[in-house]
Structure 1
Amino acid sequence: MPEVRTSGDTRIHYDDVGRGEPALLFIPGWNTTRDAFRDLLPRCAARRRVLSVDLRGHGQSGGGGTDFDSATVLDDLLAVVEASGARQVVPVALSHAGWWALELRRELGAERVPKLVLLDWIVSEPPLAFTEALRGLMSERWMSTRDGLLDMWVAGVEDPNIIRYAREVMGGFGEDMWARAAREIASAYAREGSPLRALSGLSPTTPTLHLYSQPDSHDYLEAQVAFGAQHPWFHVMKLPAVSHFPMLEVPDLVAAGIEALVSAQETYMNTGIIMPGAVPG
């Protein structure tokens, strides 16, 4: 398995499989590992090169013994991109890893980061309940708050592998990492307002696809469709899944959506992608 040494002599591990550019850069969210992409990786690697990273302090990467912030993780991701030799990368970011996808686009520019794929992210301004959950994760209530989030993310799920991933992998991270995640996520929303607002500030604009399953709210989907109508570079696909982990639940659809965007195909409706202005009945 390839690795790159970054700040603090930290070893960042990643998979490097497949061929063809632009390469996909799979970025797990906080308190997850690259194993979240285990089913998606072979499907995408059959068509193009895929880099799948374990974040600092997560999975097989080092650096979990001291505090760090989002800027440090961004530096790690930039080091992986440079070490890989990839000329172009399309970040495929799970949940709040979307903030790093945005920063990679800002740092490397539109030529090297031509498109973005976001998976199950709160792309609007954060709802009050989520803001309160972030506060809970930074308090003595962190464990009950974490458990409540995990319950919500797998509600209605029957696949034991997905339940096990949430409860054993994500639930295996301790107080320090959950509090760090909450601190960094809250800081990003306070700085940027919302992911959609941050995306609209990119110049030139960057074709972006949001593939998601939670929340199952018509208003949330409708707001994204309305945003896409005003910003034709933005596409959204509401997936037929119930968990917070669509890449584990419906990997074929996620892989098809990614490939449709990266290949610049406009037949999005064939994979269920909702085009700007189209609201499902």
Structure 2
Amino acid sequence: MAETRKGGARIHYDDLGQGEPALLFIPGWCTSRAVFRKLVPPCSALHRALVVDLPGHGASDAPGQDFDNTTVVEHLRAVIDASGARRVVPVALSHAGWWALELRRQLGPRVPALVLLDWLVLEPPPPFLQALHVLQTSQWKQARDGLFSLWLQGVSSPDVIRFVQEDMGSFGEDMWKRAGREISRVYAQQGSPLKALATLSPPAPTLHLYAQPHDDAWLESQRSFASSHPWFHVQRLASHSHFPTLEMPEEIAARLHRFIDTSLGTRPEGLSPSPP
């Protein structure tokens, strides 16, 4: 495990494999880098992989009594600088996509592409926004448990169940309230992730791999966006949970490698068609 510091706080990350661009694996709020433990080995076989614990998460120190999205981006940049990587492709889980977007804004061509995993890239459903609101109140635990129930509905994978209950369940009131506040804030500021992606100039080749919701209308809306924004690619995965990194890492790694090779011009062929 490697380590750097930002503002006196230690930031831990794994540095595996070799080659440019490096893949920067970014967990979401209230998750540790363990969510990538199955995905990193097949990815680091072909690319350098930097796997971060966010500030106040996993093995990384909290940077103070409170912090926000800006602090997280500063810590991610500290990892990039400490690693010496010239170019990085963020591989961002869920709402970590907001930080990946901001890295592209700040670093430009040093972030040549984006990989987004299981993110609510369309307008967030009202029940989800309500859950974010309740997370910021004294009823935070009920809201968190409601999200856990939703994420585990119909899921039989022991790895996913254990991760949600034990890893995500290990975070307490302060972090869950912070997550609700910061996710709500960025949606209010930037609108949907697709709208935010469309403001990048120049746009970044972007791949969204997701499993939930398993709704044809959700997929068609993203395909419609892709038809007018050819730098955006979406592929739905046959995973049963919100955490396909734990259910089908080999398939994600293969799709990720193919996307990077294609988007960076090292292969002439295009992406294979999205699965139904």
Give the structure-2-normalised TM-score: 0.96
**Partner of residue 190, structure 2:** 192
| Alpha-carbon shift at residue 73 of structure 1 (Å) | 0.6
Give the match for residue 274 of structure 2: 273
One-letter amino acid matched to 2:258: A
Other-structure match for 1:49: 48
Q: Tell me the equivalent position of 1:39.
A: 38
Runs of 4+ in structure 1 displaced over 6 angstroms? none
Match of 2:128 in 1: 130
Secondary structure of 2:29's match? coil
1:172 and 1:165 map into 2 onto residues whose CA distance is: 10
Determine the C-alpha separation between the residues in 2 that align with 1:152 and 1:64: 31
Q: Is the 8 A contact 1:58 1:64 kept in 2?
A: no
**Which residue of structure 2 aligns with residue 18 of structure 1?**
17
Provide the rounded CA distance (Å) in 2 between the counterparts of 1:86 and 1:199: 24
SS class of match (1:268):
coil
| 1:64 CA drift (Å) | 6.2
1:256 to 242, 251, 254: 254
Distance 2:35 2:50 in 1: 13
**2:168 corresponds to:** 170
Give the alignment of 1:1-281 within 5 angstroms: 1-7=1-7, 9-63=8-62, 66-109=65-108, 111-264=109-262, 265=267, 266-269=269-272, 273=274, 280=276
Which amino acid counterpart does residue 139 of structure 2 have in structure 1?
Answer: R
CA distance in 2, matches of 1:200, 1:232: 11
Cα shift readout 1:220-257 (whole Å, capped 9, x = no counterpart)? 11100000000000000100001110111111111111
Question: 2:159 and 2:211 mapped to 1: Cα distance?
Answer: 18
> Aligned letter for 1:72?
T
Shift, 1:157, TM fit? 1.4
Q: Unaligned stretches of 5+ in structure 2?
A: none
Residue 263 of structure 1 aligns to a residue whose secondary structure is: helix
Long gaps (5+) in structure 1: 275-279
Separation (CA, whole Å) in 1 of partners of 2:79 and 2:99: 13
3-state SS in 2 of match to 1:11? strand
Work out the CA distance in 1 between the residues paired with 2:208 and 2:153: 21
Partner SS state of residue 90, structure 1: strand
Tell me the residue number matched to 1:277: none
TM-score by length of 1: 0.94
Q: Report the secondary structure of 2:144's partner residue.
A: helix
SS of the residue aligned with 2:235?
strand
Shift of 1:268: 2.4
Q: Give distance in 1, aligned partners of 2:250 and 2:55.
A: 28
C-alpha deviations, 1:14-40, integer Å up to 9, x for none?
A: 000001111000000000000000000
One-letter code aligned to 2:126: L
Tell me how far apart the structure 2 counterparts of residues 91 and 257 of structure 1 sit (CA, whole Å): 15
Q: Distance in 2 between matches of 1:67 and 1:159?
A: 34
RMSD: 1.1
Residue aligned with 2:250, SS: helix
Matched residues, number: 271
**CA-CA distance at 1:162 after TM superposition:** 1.2
Structure 2 counterpart SS, 1:3: strand
Identity of aligned residues (%): 57
